[in-house]
Chains A and B, each alone.
Chain A
């Protein structure tokens, strides 16, 4: 199972997680793990998700998440987990 990492970075405001999670639920993307911190007023979130059941492909999910990011004023990046595994795990 190939997992996907979604990162959300930006100014903190009400409802960021709700918005992203609602989108993921509507598109049958299962959230496996969430970590979130606030660094100097900036919202930093990482999600590990499984999108294998989603009717949408990677490109569609990544593009639509970017659009949601623009609407709520944060940057949402979607990447396959392998780039992180390769760099940080032997």
Chain B
């Protein structure tokens, strides 16, 4: 039987070390909502979401109560809207109408974000996909809870450089549309390479076409728990360090698995995956950068940071995989700047640059995330940064993503405030040399040689 020390350990993780389940994300297929009439599509989407997800928030709350574990977010992901709206949307304006419907449905069921205002254009872009991409700036400005993502590359298909070029402009336009709120719209837009179909984390969540009609995916968290565990092995060698992370990740993930199974049972919706991610928040003691500091780095960004992140990511996976029946999504350590107090401190101290962050994304689970850059950054420069990040993902057969916020009216050293879990970030310098002629070439970077495995 369980003993008092085990109970004490679990409750200490929850009460003092910010252990929580970061999100229960309900994936809903909207493929059956397609129609040639936009009004019919909107009606079907609203009705399907509000029917399937009507008990999501209440179920989450009931699980929190029964097990005493906070579940921070309850969210919804849907089929990429470029597909759902393909036969009814003839212009970007039409797609904005669908975004409004998604926002209204999200409000009705009480979730804080709904993801899937997305297009998958890793090889080529159809007219309706281009229309969706062009609707993103307005859609993200007039809705509150809608999140958008665009997959512009993959190891199998290469990188769609036309889409990369277009997104440089779209990101700037999104920033302009929401300039009164420090260009907040860009915090809800992710550009991916190798985007997973089952990611529960925003802003990049969508319900892939390979998925069932509806599915429960759960994202765990707990950087604070890992940091606390590492305090007990200060000065020990790397084997001990790795073992400690692995064991802690196992415990964290088991809680996620329990919550996922319970949610699946209560809602009678199949369980999909656990995303084994260490997701930080701006709260002190809930930071990836603090784990690096505990490992022995003065700040995130110091020499050794990439190695520290690589071992952290790998041990989290090794511990987590055994704790869950099915793992997927992004699974690894997130390194968003604005959502992690330790990362913010590292930028302010001059320890962490955009280039170092790019190196770190080679070994973390995602990419350049929640980074504020000067509002006057050129579209081609943003496209160049995206292209670099997509190339890392394509060649290394991993997911990479870019979520940059060119903050209109702000420059290096200024602070951008996004509020809530999105946090705040110091505006970081960007390399000033031009890549315009490179980006203007257009076309596609072909898939790498190691993609030919058949």
The chain A residues found within 8 Å of chain B, CB to CB, are 5, 7, 33, 35-37, 44, 46, 48, 58-59, 62, 77-89
> Known: A77-B11, A77-B68. Contact between A83 and B3, CB under 8 A?
no
In order of increasing CB-CB distance, the 7 nearest A-B pairs are: A79-B68, A83-B67, A35-B4, A86-B254, A46-B4, A88-B6, A84-B2
Q: Answer yes or no: B10 CB below 8 A from chain A CBs.
A: yes
Majority secondary structure of chain B interface residues (helix, strand, loop or mixed): helix
Whether the Cβ atoms of A48 and B1 lie closer than 8 Å is yes
> Known: A79-B66, A79-B68, A83-B255. Contact between A88 and B10, CB under 8 A?
yes
Listed by A's residue number, 30 A-B pairs whose Cβ atoms lie within 8 Å are A5-B2, A5-B7, A7-B7, A7-B11, A35-B3, A35-B4, A36-B4, A44-B4, A46-B4, A48-B2, A58-B65, A59-B65, A62-B65, A77-B68, A79-B67, A80-B66, A82-B258, A83-B10, A83-B68, A83-B255, A84-B2, A85-B2, A86-B255, A86-B257, A87-B10, A87-B251, A87-B255, A88-B2, A88-B9, A88-B10
Q: How far is the CB of A40 from chain B (nearest CB, A)?
A: 13
Assembled-state Cα–Cα distance A59/B64 (Å): 11
Minimal Cβ-Cβ distance residue in B for A83 = B67
**Digit string of B1-45 for contact with A (CB within 8 Å is 1, else 0)?**
111101111110000000000000000000000000000000000
* Of A36, A58, A78, A84, the contact of B10 (CB 8 Å cutoff): A84
Which of A44, A87, A89 has the most chain B CB within a 10 Å cutoff? A87
Whether the Cβ atoms of A84 and B7 lie closer than 8 Å is yes
Minimal Cβ-Cβ distance residue in A for B19 = A87
Q: How far is the CB of A37 from chain B (nearest CB, A)?
A: 7
A85 neighbours in B (Cβ, 8 Å) = 2
Q: How far is the CB of A57 from chain B (nearest CB, A)?
A: 11
Residues of B238-255 whose CB lies within 8 A of A = 251, 254-255
Q: How far is the CB of B400 from chain A (nearest CB, A)?
A: 32
Assembled-state Cα–Cα distance A87/B319 (Å): 12
Assembled-state Cα–Cα distance A79/B7 (Å): 10
Q: How far is the CB of B397 from chain A (nearest CB, A)?
A: 32
A44 neighbours in B (Cβ, 8 Å) = 4, 8
B11 neighbours in A (Cβ, 8 Å) = 7, 77
A86 neighbours in B (Cβ, 8 Å) = 254-255, 257-258
Minimal Cβ-Cβ distance residue in A for B254 = A86
Assembled-state Cα–Cα distance A81/B4 (Å): 12
B251 neighbours in A (Cβ, 8 Å) = 87-88
